[in-house]
Structure 1
């Protein structure tokens, strides 16, 4: 399994669960220190340090794979918030283009490297489904990814293509975005979510492993948010 975005959070935990189940992993990340630590913990068969939004580098990575792989998972990328009143159009275009280009590029460059019946698995979000100030770019990307994945499932067949749409997940990225508001957000979710706890990386990783193992699943989007979307604003 190739994990792109393996240095922390969902990608790292998925790689950990795959290793615990006896699978082999190739770890990709842009932070060399985090990737080195992950490699010490997981003993992968290979690592690569680069920014996956660099499509030329992404192409070279897949070209250089010495053998076919069973699964590719992409967790790289993060949310983009910017109100129209403060919009930097160039930055907004980059954020949108990079998200779609990463998805398309992974499919394009891996199409001869993933075994039949294997999986391309992308991780997106649910937050952009509700309109809000500053959410325009993220909402557009959130709406685009399920349609893109469904079409890729047809074009990549018999390789399977799926999308995980996660709500709030308690990861280092969430901590960096929320800062000193993190504990308040955790407490709010514990009180309001139907599951009465916060979704963590292990929850998403378990879903990812299930999607990879169940060869009847393709072209679909799987929500994991603890019931967050059921709540009123």
Structure 2
């Protein structure tokens, strides 16, 4: 009978390596509340924005995006709604995808959460992801952000919470957003597991995750696709979607 000694066990275990996950999704408790956090290495992962198929029809759902990717040999490893949109699924604010601009930057105050300045832009560049305040974004070379989606309000700006967030607010919703590290190497996509205020949500990014910049995507209609934790949220059709693409396993 073949026997394994205790000394040889670590070496044998080293040969059995689970495949690396493209995205690390986990439950993150903070200040008595629970959040789902999906962490993406922007230097190595294929992070993309999705709005419409080649025929101009809004994808509207994670399944539609995944079906399109299947034809290219890819699949979604993670996805989240990525900005506010109109009834026809078109983005409320600025949107660029692979260098093609769909809507220009809106830099003026307005009604609703989007117009609660300062708002910002989530930028996907070469090997990095950034959250950039809108007026600062307008000074940047557009080549820096071939894919970008504007939303608002900013949650964290240079390490400070949005000045209009109130610690004693009573407005609570399921909320989702994104924060990035200072060097742009990692992006943290977050959804609250229960309704939270803006102040509570922003505090998770700054104080719980230690991120200097974070942007609100939306509330109430927030949805997440994270198959590694068995999650695929359903609901109303979406506008902009952000996701990580990985190769589809061979049949």
* TM-score strictly above 0.5: no
- Greater relative contact order structure (CA < 8 Å, 6+ sep): 2
Which bracket does the TM-score occupy, shorter chain normalised? under 0.3
Larger Rg: 2
* TM-score, normalization by structure 2: 0.24
Write 1 or 2 for the structure with the bigger share of helix: 1
